[in-house]
Amino acid sequence: MHTSSPVLNVLFLCTHNSARSILAEAMLNHLGQGRFKAYSAGSSPRENQTPNPLALETLSHAGISTEGLRSKTWDEFALPTAPHMDLVITVCDNAAGEVCPYWPGQPATAHWGYADPSEVQGGVEKQKEAFKQTLHLIGKRLEILVNLPADSLSRLAIQDTARELAQKH
């Protein structure tokens, strides 16, 4: 545990905030060792959107807490009362091309594209495998991120670091 490092707030964005961004939020909070606090949101969650049940099941099977996970709009994080974000990562191809709201403090940004596991055709077992694979891929990047030395996570270095991770795996 690095008590001298401030906690870094990371926001994962996707279109509906029901699968990839939920997986990333839960995984980073699981791996973050108190150095990271993850959040997730969507640019246009559907009305009454909830996290995909297969996302929650995949997290539970991996021993990762699903407590408090909910689908929400990114507008929540543009409010003055919202936590300041240090890093904003888009995790789906749609979110990368969308116009993002103004983020106070100009956080670092990166795009880590993942195929949508909920779009996989061929039945529930294929979808379950897709969710498991997506969680695995997200986890590989996040393990590298959480194990970086503090100087790689400074305000100026974190954007380059996160963008370099987009090239891995």
Q: How many domains does the chain have?
A: 1
Interval 28-45: pLDDT, tens: 999 998 899 999 998 888
Q: Establish if 169 belongs to a structural domain.
A: no
* CATH code, 52: 3.40.50.2300
- Where is pLDDT greater, at 138 or 47? 138
- Where is pLDDT greater, at 17 or 1? 17
Whole-model pTM?
Answer: 0.87
Write out the H or E segment, with its range, that includes residue 28. Answer: helix 20-31
Interval 88-124: pLDDT, tens: 998 876 554 545 555 656 788 888 888 889 888 999 9
User: Which residue range is the domain that position 130 belongs to?
Assistant: 8-152
Q: Establish if 121 belongs to a structural domain.
A: yes
Q: So what's the pLDDT on residue 97?
A: 53
Mean pLDDT (the chain) is 86
CA distance 165 to 79: 29
Q: Establish if 29 belongs to a structural domain.
A: yes
Q: Establish if 157 belongs to a structural domain.
A: no
